[in-house]
Structure 1
Amino acid sequence: MKIGLFSDTHGWIDPKIFDHFEKCDEVWHAGDIGDAKLLTAFDQFNHFRAVHGNIDDRIIRQKYPVFQSFQCEQLHVWLIHITGHPPLYTPEIRAKLRQTQPDILVGGHSHILRVMHDVKHPPLLYLNPGAAGRHGSHYMRTLLRFEINNKNINHIEVIELGKRATLVHHH
């Protein structure tokens, strides 16, 4: 399974995302979609999963939950907007991890791209694709793309879409 992962679009979707995720079997969005107008654009993906983020309105919240737990190939995945990161998770994530744990924990919110193993909860892999939108403190707009084969995660790629804002000088 080829997976495309992005987050924090904040109301704007770069058209290049559709090219990068064209061959993906599933596309996951880790919240802060930012505008219900984007929802129809997501229909272009083969199979789309999302959670809502803290900035998302009622329409988006009605369509996408705050938390998704699902199986992809042989791996158990949690998708949630605000996670913290290993080992500094939010209290909610810490509580959930005491009961059970996924193979992959996907979060957004921080606008910081991170791919890291949680040494305290092996074999958990934490993925945050950074921010794909134009709003926020991030310098580079980023996506992640990877493959899941049975129980293995392979070919993790970071895709840079370009700088968040390009200054235009008017003369």
Structure 2
Amino acid sequence: MIVDALRRIAPVTAIRGNVDGGEWARDYPDTNLVRLAEKSIYVLHDLKTLKADPSAGIDVIVSGHSHVPKIDTVGRILYLNPGSAGPRRFKLPITFATLELTPDGMRPEIHDLEGD
């Protein structure tokens, strides 16, 4: 499984998506809140199901349901959709995102795996 391979490289926070079923999916929550470099990062699959109060100290919200890569800031909250790094979904690009946390702020970036 890809998550196990990624864990051999670095710590991983993973959540369950809308088509993740079966025994293995029970090990993954629907959402997760991560603290990293004094930032609060809320991870969920579908942004439309957000139940957390974004004004309650959340700095970043990561979601991926649409598979559309996007970086957006609303107020002081960074919204990040990394897209999809797996098999092509619809006619969307194959992408992933990184988020660099520095003393000067956050630097999100979308990476296109097709090199376009």
TM-score normalised over the length of structure 1: 0.60
Q: Give the letter aligned to residue 139 of structure 1.
A: L
- Structure 1: state its 5+ residue gaps: 1-36, 84-89, 164-171
Q: Select the structure that is richer in helix.
A: 1
- Selected match of 2:70 from 109, 114, 117: 114
Question: What is the CA-CA distance between 1:62 and the residue it aligns to?
Answer: 1.9
Distance 1:136 1:74, change over 3 A: same
Distance 2:71 2:63 in 1: 11
Q: In the alignment, is the contact (CA less than 8 A) between 2:68 and 2:83 conserved in 1?
A: yes
CA RMSD of aligned residues (A): 2.2
TM-score, normalised with respect to structure 2: 0.84
Q: Identity across aligned pairs (percent)?
A: 23
Paired with 1:44 and 1:98, the residues of 2 have a C-alpha distance of: 32
Q: Distance in 1 between matches of 2:54 and 2:61?
A: 14
Please state how far the C-alpha of 1:160 moved relative to its aligned partner: 1.0
Please give the residue correspondences for 1:12-23 in structure 2 after superposition, counting only pairs within 5 Å: none
Moved runs in structure 1, 4+ residues, more than 4 A?
Answer: none
Helix, strand or coil at the partner of 2:13: strand
User: How far 1:57 sits from its partner (Å)?
Assistant: 1.9
Per-residue CA deviation, residues 50-73 of structure 1 (Å, 9 max, x unaligned), is 101011123332221100012111
Say how many residue pairs are matched: 115
Q: Which has the higher contact order (CA 8 A, sep 6+)?
A: 1
Larger Rg computed on CA atoms: 1
In structure 2, the residue corresponding to 1:49 is in which secondary structure? coil
Once the two structures are superposed, the pairs formed by residues 12-91 of structure 1 within 5 Å of their partners are: 37-83=1-47, 90=48
Assess if the C-alpha contact under 8 Å between 1:73 and 1:151 holds in 2.
no
